[in-house]
Amino acid sequence: MQKQYKNYVFDLYGTLVDVLTDEESQRLWTSFAWYLKLLGLPAEAGSLRADYLRLCAEAQRAKADMLMAKGIEGPYEADILTVWQALGNEKGMRLTIRQATEISRVFRALSLRRLGLFPGAAEVLGALRAAGKKVILLTNAQSGFTRPELHLLGLDTAFDAIFISGDAGVKKPSPAFFGLLWQTGLRPEDSVMVGNDGRCDCRGAAEAGMDSFYIHTEQSPEDEPVLPKNCHRIRTLTDLIG
């Protein structure tokens, strides 16, 4: 008999949401460069991707240095808005948070190739809450585009709490990121993680004292580790309520 849990903690992309992006497409960088030029930023498609990757790496290092100094264990996650603001500074334009957020959403839209719910995702979340379970989102993502996508997909009110790595500065499998769950009053022994990444979701949960459910999807990493003993495989999301 399946153990009864009080709290279900879900990953988002690759678990509940079927997503495909292409950030290597030259068409993306050409279109994005034109968009930035229309904003007044002198961006060139030929160098824009290299600038973006460099600034992402710099932002990640800065976040890591800051949190390591406080004794917070990674892996770390920078807020992508700081990357766009840094790009603006290099191009001679000081971007507001609102402008950086808009840039983040346009970049995401240009890179998207597929976005939709996996079969049963909304129904499972609704059924769990109807049964009195707490449903939490713990995702490695960025608020700038994740929150509008949650709204677009009808999931913005589907969770009792939402934790996004870009806001936290750390990402799964960081103990500090899982630790945010306990600040809400959840107990590890009453909670289960549901995800498609054996390392980030399942091993991260095990190290945090949680059981987990693993579902393999197209977005699951190819180099999956051996799953922990307290992880159970499911074929579909509806297995959670079956």
114: β partners: 20
Q: Biggest alpha carbon distance in the chain? A: 62
Query: pLDDT tens digits, residue range 18-67?
Result: 999 999 999 999 999 999 999 999 999 999 999 999 999 999 999 999 99
Task: Report which of 23, 22, 52, 48 is spatially closest to residue 33, judged by C-alpha positions.
Answer: 48
Can you give the pTM of this predicted structure?
Answer: 0.94
Give the rounded percent of residues in the chain with a pLDDT score beyond 70: 99
pLDDT-derived band at 1, boundaries 50, 70, 90: very low
Mean pLDDT of the chain: 95
What is the structure's pLDDT at 83? 97
Crossing angle between the packed helical segments 26-39 and 97-111, to the nearest 10 degrees: 150
115 phi/psi in degrees, rounded to 5: -155, 120
What is the structure's pLDDT at 225? 80
What is the structure's pLDDT at 24? 93
Segment 89-116 shows an average pLDDT of 96
User: Around Cβ 144, how many Cβ atoms within 10 Å?
Assistant: 22
